[in-house]
Amino acid sequence: MIVSYHAAMTAPSHPRRPGPGRPREFDTDLALDRAIAVFSERGYQGAAISDLTQALGLTAGSLYKAFTDKRGLFLAAFDRYVALRTERLRAVLEGAPTGRAKIKAVLDFYADSSHGADGRRGCLVVAGAVDLATADPEVAARVTGALHLNEGRLAGFVAEGQADGTVALHLDPMATARLLLCVLQGMRVVGKTGRDRMEMAPLADNALKLLD
């Protein structure tokens, strides 16, 4: 019997329809949250099933019944990671009135995610890019998709800023968005070496110069 004292990190997936059979005793989202941490820290091949069963509090049998595969678990964790980050980003974006303010919020969000223990843990998209982009076409497609999603969001904010007068008109929204994307992903790489807030936070403000 597994008892979850901590709820999942929010963003519940589609609730399971009851159906026949013994009900699942663990919270899938909570398990995926922990899988995200293990895969982010150790990489895909560096995360052994025994590491995962221990971190998720599951036996190998339950893990395989729920997620088919180590690869299936990674894909589920990846999808949840992207959904979770998207939701947190949306929350952070709520107060931002202008295109520039939205880009500032995104930069702050990534600077915050890239320092201290969270920074050391790293980004699952980056881990997927490094460990599986050349070996697993389906993971590669998801990594590409996640980056393009981000790039598109940023391009939208640049265009929005150009419309509201907070971003220079001479900039190419796509090229600027791609550069901002590099700044964000670069923060995640640099953050893996353990930087503090004093080092990362100022990057966000300085990067805004790219919008002038």
Partner DNA sequence: TCCTTTTGGGAATGATCATTTCCTAATTGA
Partner DNA sequence: TCAATTAGGAAATGATCATTCCCAAAAGGA
Where along the sequence are the contacts to its own copies (CB under 8 A)?
41-46, 120-122, 126-127, 129-131, 133-135, 140, 143-144, 147, 171-172, 175-176, 178-179, 181-190, 192-194, 199, 202-203, 206-207, 209-210, 212
**45 interacts with DNA by CB under 7 A:** yes
Q: Which is nearer to its own copies, 8 or 37 (CB)?
A: 37
Neighbours of 55 (CB within 10 A): 17
* Residue pair 211/166 in contact by the 8 Å Cβ criterion: yes
> What residue 59 binds from DNA, its own copies, none (CB within 5 to 8 A, per partner kind)?
DNA
Q: Which is nearer to its own copies, 72 or 202 (CB)?
A: 202
Query: Is residue 83 a contact partner of residue 75, using CB atoms and an 8 Å limit?
Result: no
Does residue 87 contact residue 10 with C-beta atoms inside 8 Å?
Answer: yes
**Residue 18 per-residue DSSP state:** -
By beta-carbon proximity to its own copies, the closer residue of 66 and 159 is 159
Contacts with 127 (C-beta within 8 Å, 6 or more apart), sequence order? 39, 40, 43, 44
In angstroms, rounded to a whole number, what is the distance separating the alpha carbons of residues 29 and 22? 19
| Geometric angle at alpha carbon 87, from 105 and 84, rounded to 5° | 115
Q: Which is nearer to its own copies, 7 or 149 (CB)?
A: 149
Spatial separation of the C-alpha atoms in residues 67 and 111, rounded to whole Å: 32
Q: Does 43 bind DNA (CB under 7 A)?
A: no
Contact between 54 and DNA by CB under 7 A: the answer reads no
Using the rule CB under 7 A, is 24 a contact of DNA? yes
Binding stretches for DNA (CB under 7 A): 1-2, 18-26, 45, 47-50, 58-62, 64-66, 69-71
